[in-house]
Amino acid sequence: MDTPEPRLTSLAHGGGCGCKLAPTVLQDILKGVPQTAPFADLMVGNETSDDAAVWRLNDDQALVATTDFFMPMVDDPFHFGQIAATNALSDVYAMGGRPILALAILGMPVNVLSPRTIGRVLQGGAAACAAAGIPVAGGHSIDSVEPIYGLAVIGLVRPDQVLTNRGARPGDVLLLTKSLGVGVLSAAFKQDRLDKEGYRLLKETTTRLNSFGAELAGRAGVHAVTDVTGFGLLGHALEMARGAGATVELTSRPPVLGDALRLLEEGVRTGASARNWAAYGHEVDGLEAGVVRDLLTDPQTSGGLLIAVAEAEVSALQALARINGCGALPVGRVVDGPARVQVVA
């Protein structure tokens, strides 16, 4: 009789975008890394912590390049592959680009997991890419202690339509295309406290492509876009505030995924939430310890797009979002002031 394989999540010390390095740790690591400014055709590098790099090819095309990978947040290998691939594709969409191909990044404990299980991870990733209309054209694999999967993704965008996280303007409304609480639900899953409906919601939101981002390129009134991932809504809104040199006001009542608030009240949360707050809480006003802070700092694996749009264009953009099968709910606005986040009722 074959020995049962261990749960995927039991093989990893973290999962999903909760694996990301804390913002302060990342900043310390990057201090000695040379800036990329000398390259004339590099339109977007690592200067503003944007979602992907952008390289101008000619007057009509620019290359969007990104990579993203993490450890499992669910036990089903196919779902893990789907989620990780969807998350990686999101970086291209957040720049207004359309993906054209992907390369797989795979690290697996080959003496612990069967070839069939590992193959299912790859099949899940390929399914997400097929939904995006692109191939997984190759990749690289290693034998690693913890399971890791993700993609390097290449996309295209017009150079004059590149979207970044730094173009928001005072007066803009902030729209979010997915509800918050992915980290909470994934933590509940690991603790065997997530019911079937909660798992369905977790899978549905994390495997839903952010392809709406490609529709935003060149659209009037759209000034900045980023996807909300490991640093939580607060952290990515703060990056938008820094890029704009303005204050971002966030609501204390953002859209919530399933029972995430109830689970937070019962003490379910990720360690990444506390690390996030420790890294940037000194740049946030109007927020005390509690479930709202834990929700706004909750790491969002394959989270939604945060869009800064002129107020006059909000209704039209929300209608376009509905046509594209996603929401676009107001979660704040940009106002004159220092580069900080202010949480308001």
287: which residues sit within 8 A by CB, 6+ positions away? 252, 281, 293, 296, 343
CA torsion sign, 146 to 205 to 87 to 19? negative
Cα dist from 126 to 79, 97, 136, 138, 210, whole Å:
11, 19, 6, 11, 16
Least confident of 20-34, 109-123, 285-299: 20-34
Identify the pLDDT of residue 37: 63
Identify the pLDDT of residue 18: 73
> How sure is the predictor about 274, in pLDDT bands with cuts at 50, 70 and 90?
very high
What is the C-alpha to C-alpha distance for residues 57 and 343, in angstroms, rounded to an integer?
41
SS3 content of the chain, % helix, strand, coil (to 5): 40, 25, 40
- This prediction's pTM: 0.95
Cα dist from 246 to 172, 302, 342, whole Å:
11, 26, 11
DSSP, residue by residue, 89-119: HHHHHHTT-EEEEEEEEEEE-TTTS-HHHHH
Residue 102 — φ and ψ, nearest 5°?
-135, 155
pLDDT digits over 108-122, tens only?
Answer: 999 999 999 999 999
Identify the pLDDT of residue 4: 83
3-state secondary structure of 53: strand
Tell me which residues are annotated as active site. Answer: 17
> How sure is the predictor about 21, in pLDDT bands with cuts at 50, 70 and 90?
confident
What is the C-alpha to C-alpha distance for residues 303 and 201, in angstroms, rounded to an integer?
13
